[in-house]
Amino acid sequence: MTINVAHRGDSGDCPENTLAAFRSALALGVDMIELDVWWTADQALAVTHDPTVDRCTNGVGVLEQMTWQEIRSLDAGAWQGQEFAGEPVPSLGEALDTIGPPTQINMHLKTCSDDPAFERQVYEEIIRAGARERALLVHDFWPSLQRLRDLDGALEPCLLPRGETSDWREYISDSLSRGLRVLQPGRDMMSAEFCEAVREHGLQANVFYADTEEDMRQYIAWGIGGILTNFPTRLRAVLEAL
C-alpha cells in the first residue's frame, strides 16, 4: 500500500511548514508528514524550507545568519491567507510535539555543517519527543547522516540522489552500499522498472512528488511505497478509491 506523505504538511491549503499545516495534515489522517530543518545563527532548530525567510514570511534575510528570536518574530502565515496571519516559524521541538504517533516524520535536514553539534541537537530533540521509531532523517549531505547513524544505529537515514543524476540504478546501488533502506527519488527517476527494482532489493521509496490525480494513480500502479504531495486530501481520495 502506498503511504500518503504530506509535503511540508498540508501545504496546498495551509502555509507550508507551520503548525497549522501539520495539524491539518494530521486531521486528514496522513501516514507521514515531511518538514524541513535549518540551524539558526544561534543554533536553534527552525522548521522552514528556504535558505532565506523572504518567500514564506514577511521578513527578509538569510536564515542561518539570523537568530531564533528574529525568525520567531516573523509572520509565516499571512502570505497564504489572512486566516493564517500570525502563524510563526515553528521550532523542531514544537513540530515534533505536534506530530504525535502513529504519524511518521520525514525530516529533511537542510543545514550542511562540519559541526557535529547540529546532528546532536536534532537527535536530542527526537529522543526528547519520543519520536525515534517514527523519524526518517533525509539529507543530501552524507556526513550529516553518518554522524546521526554514529549517534544511534537504529535511526533511519535516507540519502537524496546526488547532484543532477537521474540514474536510478546508481541511486539504488549507492544506497545499498551505505546500508540504507529508504530512498526518496525525484520524479525523473520514476518508472515501473525502478519501482520493481526497489521491491526486489527490499527497499522503500517515497517519490517527490505527485500533485495531480493522474500522476498519483500512475505511481501507485507502478507500486511506489510512498508519495510526497502538497495535496494530501487529493491523494487520500485516490487511495480510498482503489
- What number of other Cβ atoms are within 10 A of residue 112's Cβ? 12
Say which residue the cell 521578513 belongs to: 59
Residue reference for cell 502538497: 230
Nearest residue to 47 (alpha-carbon basis) of 72, 13, 81, 73: 72
In eight-state DSSP terms, residue 88 is P
Q: Active-site residues: which are they?
A: 7, 49
- Please list, residue by residue across 186-205, b when 16 or more beta carbons sit within 10 angstroms of its beta carbon and e when fewer do: beebbeeebbebbeeeebbb
The x, y and z cell numbers of residue 75, run together, are 509572520
DSSP for 119-181, written as a single string = HHHHHHHHHHTT-GGGEEEEES-HHHHHHHHHH-TTSEEEEPPPTT---HHHHHHHHHHTT--
Do β-strands 135-139 and 104-109 pair in parallel, antiparallel, or remain unpaired?
A: parallel
**Contact criterion met (CB below 8 Å) for 226 and 199:** no
Q: Which of 29, 47, 15 is nearest to 232 (CA)?
A: 29
